[in-house]
């Protein structure tokens, strides 16, 4: 092993239940280099880094820091080895100042010597080109300032190996450029830096080498100088896998929803959706692809009335009123739901949206129906029948319909969630990550359900993570990148690489392409 190696991972594996998040990964980071860790969502990037920073413990394999085999059991151990990780969600205390956050948890004199702490921070800032006000409270700071505090915090602790988890996801392009400048300064100072990203332009512009993970395995490490967007995309998405999902021909000829020039802001005030236009037809499955956080959630929520719309229109063609157009923007989520537009969103924790964990299946069915009827008492009988029906048809494995749903396994929870929305006989069914974390068989049950709906003439919007599934299931695929539509393609005549490229496209290329599309 050369002296130049800062950290080396040998045959690291980690499983969560039956899911192999990482499998026999080998990775080496040298001093004075920036390594990009590239991969699709769920390819195991963050899991791998969490093992280096002491949050998870690997099932097998070994980690070497400076040539010594080490055992990292906690974030504390990682600090002691000079490993610092900057998480996507900052770990900062809001009411404390930047300086207080930086020295938090460190050993030293009981009484804080603010002068010398500030001097040390100022030295670090000058050395690497940070801009930081040590007295500013965290709650007064912008996202980029908070990130700076996190990085300085790690450097203050003497970190030599820095891991940044999608550092630019919440930054403006200018802020990202400044961050890269700082990262280059740190690299030149001999630090080893790993950035997790799925933005190809960042990989090409800032890193020295790039390692690509796919489905938990390291598929290769190449010098950035020899890489192009094309080769990286190919390595990232891999060969197309035939999934053999049934795909009936769409028979839709009725436009169901028309979205025009939709713009929404996210909670930081940046554009989460930027001038998005598309149609959804009855009897088709419209797949939506994009790296995480490209605006998928905001798009569905805007249609469901949960997300304030900045600009643009969403027109719904109501089949009960002879396909008369009606504007959805400005309607309450309840009104939209009553029109037949249903959303089943499966968040990462599955129970976060739509189901109440401590209630049973039939009570969860009631969440959708308790407002109906004129009696002062709720109708308990029909939700119960519905729950029994869903349990039967979708083969939900549960001791009984009154067992709290949080006790069900993830797949069964998802069946309940999707089943309930389908049972309401929607005309538009939107699902996000409906098969997240499900095993193959359960996933197929869900695909089958969606196809059933499609054949009934329902307009299905399917936000997915796995490109193979999107290619096998959807009729058309809409690709989002940074809140913009980078393409709407026929799923039958496209390739994984083409979609992969669209998912990671740069802003300037998009505007050019967008301009062309308008001319056509």
Residues lying near other proteins in the complex (CB under 8 A):
55, 75-76, 79, 87, 90-96, 100-101, 103-112, 137, 139, 153
Contacts of 407 (CB under 8 A, 6+ apart): 398
Q: Decide: 240 and 496 in contact? Cβ < 8 Å.
A: yes
DSSP string, 472-508: HH-SEEEEEETTEEEEEEEGGG--HHHHHHHHT--HH
- Looking at the Cβ atoms of 58 and 500, the one nearer to other proteins is 58
Taking alpha carbons only, the member of 133, 270, 95, 291 closest to residue 200 is 291
Task: Report, in Å, the least distance between residue 112 CB and other proteins.
Answer: 6
- Looking at the Cβ atoms of 65 and 477, the one nearer to other proteins is 65
Taking alpha carbons only, the member of 278, 207, 227, 237 closest to residue 503 is 237
Task: Report, in Å, the least distance between residue 233 CB and other proteins.
Answer: 31
- Looking at the Cβ atoms of 34 and 103, the one nearer to other proteins is 103
Taking alpha carbons only, the member of 196, 151, 190, 158 closest to residue 81 is 158
- Looking at the Cβ atoms of 56 and 462, the one nearer to other proteins is 56
**Cβ neighbours around 444 below 10 Å, total:** 16
Task: Report, in Å, the least distance between residue 108 CB and other proteins.
Answer: 6
Q: Decide: 270 and 462 in contact? Cβ < 8 Å.
A: no
Task: Report, in Å, the least distance between residue 397 CB and other proteins.
Answer: 25
Exposed / middle / buried, residue 241 (Cβ in 10 Å: 0-12, 13-18, 19+): middle
- Looking at the Cβ atoms of 169 and 204, the one nearer to other proteins is 169
Task: Report, in Å, the least distance between residue 101 CB and other proteins.
Answer: 8
- Looking at the Cβ atoms of 109 and 519, the one nearer to other proteins is 109
- Looking at the Cβ atoms of 153 and 198, the one nearer to other proteins is 153
Residue corresponding to tokens 């969600």: 89
Write out the H or E segment, with its range, that includes residue 61. strand 60-65
- CA distances 239 to 215, 236, 252, 459, Å, are 12, 9, 31, 30
- Looking at the Cβ atoms of 87 and 368, the one nearer to other proteins is 87
Task: Report, in Å, the least distance between residue 12 CB and other proteins.
Answer: 20
Task: Report, in Å, the least distance between residue 367 CB and other proteins.
Answer: 24
The helix-helix angle for 410-423 and 440-455 (nearest 10°) equals 10
Task: Report, in Å, the least distance between residue 55 CB and other proteins.
Answer: 7
């Amino acid at each position: 092993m050369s002296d130049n190696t800062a950290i080396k991972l040998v045959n690291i594996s980690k499983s969560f239940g039956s899911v192999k998040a990482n499998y026999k990964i080998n990775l080496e980071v040298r001093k004075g280099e920036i390594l990009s860790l590239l991969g699709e969502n769920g390819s195991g990037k963050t899991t791998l880094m969490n093992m280096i920073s002491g949050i998870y413990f690997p099932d097998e394999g070994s980690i070497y820091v400076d040539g010594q085999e080490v055992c990292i059991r906690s974030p504390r151990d990682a600090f002691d080895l000079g490993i610092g990780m900057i998480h996507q969600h900052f770990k900062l205390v809001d009411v404390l100042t930047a300086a207080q956050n930086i020295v938090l948890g460190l050993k030293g004199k009981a009484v804080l010597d603010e002068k010398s702490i500030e001097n040390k921070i100022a030295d670090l800032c000058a050395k690497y080109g940070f801009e930081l006000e040590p007295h500013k409270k965290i709650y007064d700071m912008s996202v980029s300032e908070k990130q700076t505090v996190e990085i300085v915090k790690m450097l203050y602790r003497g970190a030599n190996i820095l891991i940044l988890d999608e550092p630019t996801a919440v930054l403006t392009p200018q802020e990202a450029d400044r961050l890269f400048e700082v990262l280059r300064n740190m690299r030149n100072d001999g630090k080893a830096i790993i950035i997790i990203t799925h933005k190809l332009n960042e990989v090409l512009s800032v890193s020295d080498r790039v390692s690509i993970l796919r489905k938990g395995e390291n598929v290769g490490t190449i010098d950035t100088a020899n890489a192009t967007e094309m080769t990286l995309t190919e390595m990232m998405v891999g060969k197309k896998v035939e999934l053999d999902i049934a795909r009936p021909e769409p028979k839709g000829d009725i436009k169901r929803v028309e979205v025009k020039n939709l713009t929404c802001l996210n909670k930081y005030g940046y554009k989460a959706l930027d001038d998005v236009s598309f149609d959804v037809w009855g009897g088709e499955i419209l797949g939506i692809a994009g790296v995480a956080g490209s605006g998928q959630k905001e798009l569905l929520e805007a249609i469901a009335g949960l997300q304030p719309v900045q600009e643009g229109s969403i027109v719904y063609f109501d089949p009960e009123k002879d396909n008369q157009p009606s504007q959805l923007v400005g309607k309450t989520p309840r009104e939209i739901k009553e029109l037949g537009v249903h959303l089943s969103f499966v968040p990462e924790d599955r129970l976060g949206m739509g189901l109440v964990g401590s209630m049973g299946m039939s009570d969860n069915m009631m969440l959708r129906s308790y407002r109906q009827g004129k009696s002062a008492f709720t109708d308990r009988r029909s939700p119960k029948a519905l729950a029994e029906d869903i349990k039967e048809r979708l083969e939900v494995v549960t001791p009984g319909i009154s067992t709290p749903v949080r006790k069900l396994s993830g797949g069964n929870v998802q069946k309940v969630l999707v089943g309930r929305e389908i049972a309401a006989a929607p005309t538009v069914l939107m699902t996000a990550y409906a098969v997240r974390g499900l095993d193959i068989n359960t996933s197929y049950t869900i695909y089958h359900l969606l196809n059933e709906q499609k054949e009934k003439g329902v307009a299905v919007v399917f936000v997915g993570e796995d490109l193979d599934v999107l290619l096998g299931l959807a009729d058309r695929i809409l690709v989002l990148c940074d809140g913009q539509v980078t393409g709407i393609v026929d799923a039958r005549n496209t390739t994984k690489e083409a979609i992969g490229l669209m998912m990671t496209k740069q802003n300037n290329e998009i505007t050019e392409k967008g301009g062309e599309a308008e001319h056509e």
